[in-house]
Structure 1
Amino acid sequence: MYNRVIMVGNLTRDIELRYTPSGTAIAKSAIATNRRFKTQTGEQKEETCFIDITIFGRAAEIANQYLHKGRRVLIEGRLVFEQWTDQSGNKRSKHSIAVDNLQMLGGRDERGEGFGAAPQQSTPQPQQTQTPQPTQNIPEIDIDDDDIPF
């Protein structure tokens, strides 16, 4: 059987990092993905899917260090069905994703704006003036399209 999930979404909460007694890092969080569609009546609708994620090992520590609520990520992993009994004795279950690969999306300075994070203030930089460079004479090259290796 094949069990592979690839999702792009925004983290819905900060990473929660814990360690097993043997020292393995386990990070938990959740992501939200949106889907926009039109109903049969032509009305625009949007649905959001929330799913818990679990990251293991060194990737969990890196996620804890660099990822925060609102950050866009691409995750790849496998779907896991979890079952447990709650405090009142009811059987509970949910699907989650055990993450194998994680990729941070967006810019290096992305701070998750739009999910309640305060926008980052930037100090204006003075504009640099450049002296115009003289144009260089570039020779024309006659190349056939078949000669290009890509």
Structure 2
Amino acid sequence: MLTFFILTTDASLILERSINRVQLLGRVGQDPVMRQVEGRNPVTIFSMATNEMWQSGEGEPTSTGDVSQKTTWHRISVFKPGLRDVAYQYVKKGSRILVEGKLDYGEYTDKNNVRRQATTIIADNIVFLSENLRDQ
């Protein structure tokens, strides 16, 4: 059950509850890297792939269509102390993991001085599903 709160002030400011939650189940595309920008806390970053599969003609009684697959790549950032270090140490390329977190949109300027947009998943939980990682 979701509870929504509305607060009003003399300036008629209205605040309401909202949700920004993401769950991704997939495989890690690269070993994580840890970066630290001057004056900020370190962050662990890695990529993750999720796959969507479908069959052409799906839903028809005699469907014999081709199977297609689409891979989507996600940028995962881990800022949370403790989890950031665990992710850096144990997340490996090819690992099957579940990431829970929130979507974040931002902008940056690339090396050619071009403004780019970036979508990132800010992870607050990682569940290791690969057998070799659970045994460590």
**Could you state the TM-score of these two structures normalised by the residue count of structure 2?**
0.71
Alignment of 1:1-150 (within 5 A): 1-19=18-36, 24-40=41-57, 42-56=65-79, 57-109=81-133
Q: Alpha-carbon deviation of 1:17?
A: 1.3
Q: Secondary structure at the match of 2:92?
A: coil
Identity, % of aligned pairs?
Answer: 28
Q: Assess if the C-alpha contact under 8 Å between 1:25 and 1:61 holds in 2.
A: no
Aligned mates of 1:18, 1:84 — CA distance in 2: 15
Secondary structure, counterpart of 2:131 in structure 1? coil
* Cα distance in 2 between the residues matched to 1:18 and 1:97: 16
Match of 1:114 in 2: none
Seen in structure 2, the aligned counterparts of structure 1 residues 45 and 67 have a Cα distance that, compared at 3 Å, is same
Q: Which has the larger radius of gyration?
A: 1
Structural RMSD (CA): 2.1
For structure 2, the 5+ residue unaligned runs are: 1-17, 58-63
- Unaligned 5+ runs, structure 1: 111-150
Q: For 1:39-65, what per-residue CA distance to the aligned partner results, in whole angstroms no more than 9, with x for missing partners? A: 248221000010100012211111111
Q: Residue 140 of structure 1 aligns with which residue?
A: none
Give how far 1:90 is off: 2.3
